[in-house]
Structure 1
Amino acid sequence: MKNEDIRWKQRYANFSKAMGHLEKALEIPEPDMVQKAGIIQFFEMSFELAWNMVKDYLEGQGFVDIKSPRGALKKAFEVNILEKGHEWMELLQDRNLTAHTYDEQKATDMEHLIQNKYFPILKELHDSFMQKANEE
């Protein structure tokens, strides 16, 4: 097994764990501010692991010079690893705003976006890579 194959699979395992934590956190009915902060943190971790997993996978497929989340997501969309490219770019943009969720209303807005918009597309990616991991 090539090093790149191992890297994306290791990253997938960590992504799976982070997604499990995020999913569990999203089940909390009416989360308080501290719980919302936890949801946002699990979202940030999940996204970070997701784009790095995609980058590692693409490198294993021979694509090089992918240096940023935007670059990894764009290339993954181009080669049909990701669907909903526009939504992924919105996720990236909103992920960059999570550092500013010290305000309770902003944290609440972000928690709703994660719950209703971003968790489902992260889950699609997770399920797609689960299938890739099981095929090998």
Structure 2
Amino acid sequence: MFYQERYQKKHENFSKILNHLNRNLGERRLTEFSDLELSGLLKQFTLSFDLMWKTIKDYLEFNGVDIGIISPTNVLRSAASSGLLEEMDVEGEDLIEMLRARNQLTHVYDFETALDLLERIKATYVPELLKVESFFNGK
């Protein structure tokens, strides 16, 4: 029961921040955002990704999947090997690319790089994150 409650609570938080990110990205072109707004959008992506992999972790644990050492990479590998990513209709490579982008964000200091990352977030990552959210909405 404990893990079910944990993954459901994480899913609620994941859903809130992801929908906020999706709504904000959809309202304007990326070049219309100020530096401060771009920083906020990038932070929303980071939070969305972190809550996504932690929701998957708790869901896998609830279902008895042994993850081993807890890390985003190991959780995504376990989700792939257990068939969960396929069940979610999510591309594992996109999730690994998201992880790299999330890690890269700690080293982004210029506007152009931030815009490039946001383009990928809007075009590729948010749709994949929405698939994960949709899967958990059905649980």
Q: TM-score, normalised by structure 1?
A: 0.91
Deviates more, 1:110-119 or 1:65-74: 65-74
Q: Which runs of 5+ in 1 are unaligned?
A: none
Q: Which runs of 5+ in 2 are unaligned?
A: none
In the alignment, what sits opposite 1:8? 7
In the alignment, what sits opposite 2:35? 33
Q: How is 1:1-136 mapped onto 2 (pairs within 5 angstroms)?
A: 2-29=1-28, 30-64=32-66, 65-82=68-85, 83-132=90-139
Q: Distance in 1 between matches of 2:75 and 2:60?
A: 8
How far the C-alpha of 1:11 sits from its partner, in A, is 0.4
How far the C-alpha of 1:20 sits from its partner, in A, is 1.6
| SS of aligned partner of 1:27 | helix
Q: Distance in 2 between matches of 1:60 and 1:27?
A: 34
Percentage of pairs with the same residue? 33
How far the C-alpha of 1:45 sits from its partner, in A, is 0.4
How many residue pairs match? The answer is: 131
| SS of aligned partner of 1:119 | helix
How far the C-alpha of 1:32 sits from its partner, in A, is 2.1
Q: Distance in 2 between matches of 1:54 and 1:31?
A: 32
Q: Distance in 1 between matches of 2:84 and 2:138?
A: 12
Q: TM-score, normalised by structure 2?
A: 0.89
Question: 1:34-78, CA deviations, whole angstroms, 9 ceiling, x for partnerless residues?
Answer: 111111000000000000000000001112325000011111112
Indicate if the aligned counterparts of 1:4 and 1:60 stay in contact, CA closer than 8 A: yes
CA RMSD of aligned residues (A): 1.1
Q: Distance in 1 between matches of 2:126 and 2:6?
A: 23
| Runs of 4 or more consecutive aligned structure 1 residues displaced over 2 Å after TM superposition | none
How far the C-alpha of 1:81 sits from its partner, in A, is 1.7
Indicate if the aligned counterparts of 1:4 and 1:57 stay in contact, CA closer than 8 A: yes
